[in-house]
Amino acid sequence: MKIKDLLITLTLLPAVCAGAGAREFNLVSLTADDLRFSSEQDVPAPAAPQSDLSSLGEIEIEQYLADTEPDAGGYEKTLPDEPAAVNLGGDGAVTLYHSWNMERLEVRYRDQEGNYIPEAMAEIKHLFRCRLTGLEMDVPVKLVELLDIIQEKRGGKTIIVTCGYRSPKLNGALSHHSSGVAKRSLHMKGWAADIRIEGVKTSALRDTAKSIKAGGVGYYPSQRFVHVDIGEVRYW
């Protein structure tokens, strides 16, 4: 229908309705300009998808958002599917506690002959699962070895894991809340962990991790955790 015809119809409509005994009503006068739409208005833009982090607590979300891990320099390059296993000097066993899942795991992942134990690695993988989706990602042995030697150097105290694997959905939801979240976080590859140890100063834990020189180390004293990963050696 042309705009001219539509205006005529709207003009005659009250009279038609009145003649039929219909209840009286008022129409707002329209002009051709009112009915003219730009190309951008013809098809409304889809609403931006809203992230759903409602299953996570506010304190947990704040901690995730605090981890402003810089993109690893080697991430854009050709990296191996998984960093080679390296015995960093630990005893082959770890004691871990996931603060948000409230799960504790004490396991030997390397036997006396130096062989890695698949069942133990599967348990660690499950502990590190994504908090939002429950998805799991293989945890490289090198990361476990890193946690092992950190634990050894800090007197064998339990390592508290506050963030392990992040699925793309979780990382995307966090990015929706803050531009500081790394778009290519090594958490998304299962190569990183945010950790703390009760009774150990965050600065001391940072220094321990840096002394090993096995990957990236991020220092977050306000939130009382240290980010460790097995990407390129870098500090922030």
pLDDT for 47: 38
pLDDT band at 214 (very low <50, low <70, confident <90, very high): very high
Q: Read off the pLDDT of residues 68-119 as tens digits, 9 standing for 90 and up.
A: 888 665 554 555 578 899 999 999 999 999 999 999 999 999 999 999 999 9
pLDDT at 125: 98
Q: Which helix (H) or strand (E) holds 103?
A: strand 103-108
> Is the pLDDT higher at 190 or at 51?
190
pLDDT of res. 83:
87
pLDDT at position 68: 87
DSSP bridge pairs for 160: 97, 196
pLDDT higher than threshold 70 for residue 28: no
Over residues 139-180, the pLDDT tens digits come to 999 999 999 999 999 999 999 999 999 999 998 888 777 767
Please write the tens of the pLDDT for every residue from 45-63: 443 344 578 888 889 988 8
**CATH code for the structural domain at 58-235:** 3.30.1380
Q: Does residue 1 surpass a pLDDT of 90?
A: no
Range list for CATH 3.30.1380 in the chain: 58-235
CA distances from 27 to 4, 10, 12, 34, 218 (A): 17, 8, 11, 14, 64
